[in-house]
Amino acid sequence: MTGRSDAAGRVRRAVTRVEEAMMALAIAALAAMLVLMGAEVLMRYAFARPLGWSVAFIQDYLMVGMFYLGLSATYRTGAHVSVDVVYERLGPRVRLILDLLGQVLAFALFALVFYAGAETVREAVATNEIPPPGGGPLSWPSWTSYVLVPLGSGVLLLRLAATALTHRSADGAETEVRG
């Protein structure tokens, strides 16, 4: 069983490294949003010359990147919003069952998000989807923005699978889920 545990540990560590790199990009996207919006406001109101492209770049790239690239690391660290008033009063076995159920449901939901995002990227690449000139301030291939959704969702799916396969019980001991 140790061979399987070692492999699961290596997978978890690899996913964690990817998550950390993606979180760094998500933080950079947040910082870029702050700087870009400040510049947009300054240019618009101080010089009456708005940038014009910044809002589209923020909504199509930076916000999507910040959310999806930070999604898996946020899950791993338990930084998502949760209401645990009832959960904390339950026994360890019930909590384990609820944790696993939550992971299975989250996996199913994000598998759908991943699939839909991957299909959207595939279609955008196949049709060479680009906003027409004058149709948007950025005339970049659409897939360059769309790809952030399956990328972030795919890493979250790896994290959810790794977490479900090796789950820490309420007392902190690792419990390997047998398949």
Task: Read off the pTM.
Answer: 0.82
Please, are residues 160 and 83 in contact by the beta-carbon 8 Å criterion? no
The whole-angstrom separation of Cα 77 and Cα 92 is: 20
pLDDT digits (tens, 9 = 90+) for 73-101: 999 988 877 778 888 888 989 988 888 89
The whole-angstrom separation of Cα 37 and Cα 29 is: 12
pLDDT of residue 33: 96
Neighbours of 54 (CB within 10 A): 22
The whole-angstrom separation of Cα 66 and Cα 156 is: 14
**Would you call 176 helix, strand, or coil by DSSP?**
strand
DSSP letter, residue 132: P
pLDDT of residue 12: 83
Helices (H), 47-147: 54-57, 63-76, 92-126, 143-146
Least confidently predicted of 4-8, 70-74, 126-130, 170-174: 170-174
Q: What mean pLDDT do residues 151-172 have? A: 78
Domain extents in the chain: 2-177
Question: What token pair was written down for 126?
Answer: 């196949």
